[in-house]
Amino acid sequence: MVFHSEYSHVPVIDRPIHDVVLGDAASYGDSPALIDGLTGETVTYAQLDHDHRRVAAALAESGLRKGDVLALFSPNTVLFPVVFYGATRAGATVTTISSLATAEDLSGQLRDSGARWIVTVSAFLPTVTAAVETLAAEAGDGQEPRVREVIVCDRAEGHRGVQDLIASTAPEPHIAFDPGEDVAVLPYSSGTTGTPKGVMLTHRSVATNLAQVDPLHHEPPGVRTLAVIPFFHVYGLTALMNAPLRHGCTVVVLPRFELAQFLGAIAEHRVNGLFVAPPIVLALAKHPVVDRYDLSSVKWVVCSAAPLDADLAEACARRLDVPTIRQAYGMTELSPGAFVVPADELSPPPGTVGKMIPNTELRVVSVDDPDKELGAGESGELLIRGPQVMKGYLGRPEATDAMVDADGWLHTGDIGHLDERGYLFVVDRVKELIKHKGYQVAPAELEAVLLTHEAVADAAVIGVYDEDGNEIPKAFVVTRPGMELTEDDIVGYVAAKVAPYKKVRAVEFIDTVPKAASGKILRRELRAREALSRERSRP
């Protein structure tokens, strides 16, 4: 059975993303597009339109050509959108990189994406330098450097700054785009299994997804949102950059989540709407410092990126005096949206992640028998089809085929069901991906790190839940005969090699890792072992 959206189809948008978002920028003129939540620095729509065009011109003059990949490695700043849209206007594909990436993470993404340009901030230069040196050593003497230039958003000796690009007098490039084929952004995701892969999102898929969401959530010009979810994450890129700037809203920008700064920015800048992840909902619902700030300007809150407990959502809504905490569902491979609780729904069913957006189809299939179609109220794996489905994984046709079948259905790996009103409930997932506070953690990546330790014979990683309800990576480790390891040894070893959100937070030593005849780790057995252990530990 194929489920369809109750909303009318919207036209597919075959325009480049910079024109879709900033096409009306001139009409908003001196209205504030971006405000630095810490310094108060303001970028108007007229400035944003001018500056991103100058960045495009400077990059083109420097040799960037259509199809080149530019890596954007930065926390949220008011210059992030300037660089992003400038790069796409110049014809580049932008690969966004987590601001928590280590040199090893960074070199891996630069290598895989083929990025030749990096835009970063001066504080990240040691990480960038180490990554670039790794790539240079791999290339060997006499070879052309893989990375042509490192540019900074602020100032650093020996590097051009974004302000230098804005000062360029070079002619603006005029690129002929094929929106359905040209890749606008290349975020990295583990999908349902394996290590992180480059997700090819075209100008068409990203732009059309914005239009798909409009009937369910569309704010008028002048509304103020607070960007604390990272722009490098496809959730932040869409909900807090592309969507509000497309509609003439004002985005108040913060580089990271610190509760006092977050609350202060809401109060000072009279923020009207929040896009958040579950850990922020938890803080808003329970932390005593919240009562010290005037949050009366907030009229709506949308939570996504990870599952949200229904009772926690209700507690947060009561404290902020908003009708409800609305949820949304999507994934990087969906550009990223598929379901949203409509803005006019004041009392959605508790726990729902929303209704299907336009131009989207859903099938629910049995986990045990994927050929068996399920109906309303029956839980199974969610398969989604629509114009927002990714072009594929960069350089990984087999992984693409495993994720998106020949008929265009994307196999999400999530288990859920629709109720009689068309609301989706996600109840579990069959995929291996761990979601730690909204960040994606690939078990296979951590397993690869663990196996480099001389005392580790074998290892497996699954997600478990800590006392606060956060999913964390837990490692099951087999030690080599005659060698000894402690939990601290393992935790410290992995922490030195991965971004902080990826680190192993629990360790159990076992005799053997359960595997199928094919060699695939049987994670369900490890999860069963974990569940039994927790049951036995209860008083």
Q: Per-residue pLDDT tens for 261-311?
A: 999 999 999 999 999 998 899 899 989 999 999 999 999 999 998 878 888
**Over residues 484-491, mean pLDDT:** 96
419 vs 406: CA distance, rounded Å: 28
Task: Convert the pLDDT of each residue in 307-340 to its tens digit.
Answer: 788 888 999 999 999 999 999 999 999 999 999 9
Question: Residue 522 and residue 528: Cα distance in Å, rounded?
Answer: 10
Phi/psi of residue 250, each to 5°?
-110, 130
CA distances from 125 to 119, 155, 522 (A): 10, 11, 41
Reported as a single tens digit per residue, the pLDDT across 357-384 is 999 999 999 988 999 999 999 999 999 9
What is the mean predicted confidence (pLDDT) over 16-43? 97
Fold of domain 434-537: GMP Synthetase; Chain A, domain 3 (3.30.300)
Alpha carbons 442 and 275: distance in angstroms, whole number: 24
Q: For residue range 389-431, list pLDDT tens digits in order.
A: 999 999 999 999 999 999 999 999 998 999 999 999 998 776 6
Task: Tell me how far CA of residue 192 lies from CA of 234, 243, 268, 336, in angstroms.
Answer: 16, 26, 41, 15
Say how many Å lie between the first and final Cα of the chain, rounded: 46
Q: Is the pLDDT of residue 47 over 80?
A: yes
The pLDDT score that the predictor gives to residue 193 is 67
pLDDT, tens digit (0-9, with 9 covering 90-100), for 175-226: 999 999 999 999 998 776 678 899 999 999 999 999 999 999 999 999 999 9
Distance of alpha carbon 354 from alpha carbon 348, whole angstroms: 8
The ranges assigned to domains in the chain are: 434-537
Interatomic CA distance for residues 189 and 400, integer angstroms = 12
Report pLDDT for 2: 97
Instruction: Give me 458's structure tokens.
Output: 């074998």
Nearest alpha-carbon partner for 435 in 189, 100, 184, 138: 189
> What pLDDT is recorded for position 433?
77
* Mean pLDDT of the residues in the chain: 94
Amino acid 517: pLDDT:
62
pLDDT at res. 518: 56
- Taking alpha carbons only, the member of 209, 194, 471, 469 closest to residue 330 is 209
Q: pLDDT of 56-75, one tens digit each?
A: 999 999 999 999 999 999 99
